[in-house]
Amino acid sequence: MAGRSDMTNAEDLAVCHRLLSGGSKSFRAASLLLPARIADPAAALYAFCRVADDEIDEAAATQEALAGLYRRLDDIYAGRPQAHAADRAFAGVVTAFGIPRVLPEALLEGFAWDAEGRHYRDLAALEDYAARVAATVGAMMTLLMGVRDPVAMARACDLGVAMQLTNIARDVGEDARNGRLYLPLDWMRQEGVNPAEFLADPVFTPALGRVVQRLLDAADALYARSEQGIPLLPRDCRAGIGAARHVYAEIGRAVERQGLDSVSRRATVSGRRKAWLLARSMAALALRPATEAAPPLPATRFLVDAVSATPAPQDRAAPQRLPDRIAWAVELFDRLDHDPGQFAR
């Protein structure tokens, strides 16, 4: 993308940046850890996601709201976005970065699943959900970096799913008190935990802790797979993505250190620990691609295939050199101690 004016106008971008600054702190942190050239398109992406999520959350009829958002996507992809700053800005990003419609459409579907209060019978079903609400964002952020390689895309999706599984493991109690349950139902029943009874009275037990541990183990396997994709990113993006990978995985370690009890307390990672992990993420610059790449997860293959089938835009900016923003990022992560949030929520 040659410049901001090619994507959208300054007024629309200002609205998007205000939504970002007043919304997800962790999404903002993730975007600001990346090169400056990504800041505007990331804000436009977040703004559309935020507006869409709010539309579904606040709607009296989920399916009616979803149909309205699909119509907005129709107009965005037809090049005639509706009179919303977020729609106009996102339309510019779609064109500039060649984002296939399948990605934002799947994200909207995930928002609808949330609004419906879906439960997930097993890990595969939970990965289907995580593919929509998290891997879609990872895939779109990868496109903002100018990367379309299918292996890199598969690994970005792995990272998104891993982060979502970590969020779920950390927020079991908070979600349950809000009437939501994301833990795989078959795992709960195998441990003798009745899902309905747990929702009615969320109390931690060692049996529930074993379910949380299984979820963290599944996330860790995906974090390890995701590292295959970091060397395939532009050099000035690797440290930021490495930081996200290590900080989120550490949330899982924090859950483990508190005895896997994420019902009565919420795990956090100290600022000092985040600083160490951020420094460790610089090692991502030295990683080498794996000789044999793992295939995409079954849950995310449709996202990877959609990107592969979509032609790349012709006008791409050359990657900038990695800025020296480590000290700033440490301070930012430290401020997130009390509200880690979610990457894409």
Q: Which of 87-101, 188-202, 283-297 has the lowest mean pLDDT?
A: 283-297
- Is the confidence at residue 24, as pLDDT, over 90? no
Quick check: 61 pLDDT over 80? yes
99, pLDDT greater than 80: yes
What integer is the mean pLDDT of 25-47?
75
pLDDT score of 280: 67
Q: Which of 286, 281, 275, 297 minimizes the C-alpha distance to 244?
A: 281
Once rounded to an integer, what is the mean pLDDT over residues 36-57?
87
Distance separating alpha carbons of residues 188 and 213, to the nearest angstrom: 12
CA atoms of 29 and 336, how far apart (whole Å): 9
Between the alpha carbon of residue 123 and those of residues 84, 152, 192, 214, the distances in Å are 37, 23, 17, 10
The pLDDT-based confidence of 34 (bands split at 50, 70, 90) is confident
Burial of 273 (0-12, 13-18, 19+ CB in 10 A): middle
Q: Tens digit of pLDDT for each residue in 194-233?
A: 999 999 999 999 999 999 999 999 999 999 999 999 999 9
What is the C-alpha separation between 333 and 339, in angstroms, rounded?
10
At 73, the pLDDT band (50, 70, 90 cuts) reads: very high
Which helix (H) or strand (E) segment is 43 a member of? Answer: helix 39-57
Q: Give yes or no for a contact between 215 and 272, defined as CB atoms under 8 angstroms apart.
A: no
Q: State yes or no: pLDDT of 106 exceeds 90.
A: yes
Give 117-139 pLDDT, tens digit per residue. 999 999 999 999 999 999 999 99
- All domains of the chain, ordered by start, with CATH? 10-98 (no CATH), 101-309 (1.10.600.10)
From CA 175, how far away is CA 194, in angstroms rounded?
16
Is the pLDDT at 336 greater than 80? The verdict is: no
Of residues 61 and 76, the one with the higher pLDDT is 76
Overall average pLDDT of the 226-249 stretch:
89
Distance CA 21, CA 11 (A): 15
Question: Which band of pLDDT confidence, cut at 50, 70 and 90, is reported for residue 318?
Answer: very low
Residue 3 CA from chain centroid, whole number: 25
pLDDT score, position 330: 47
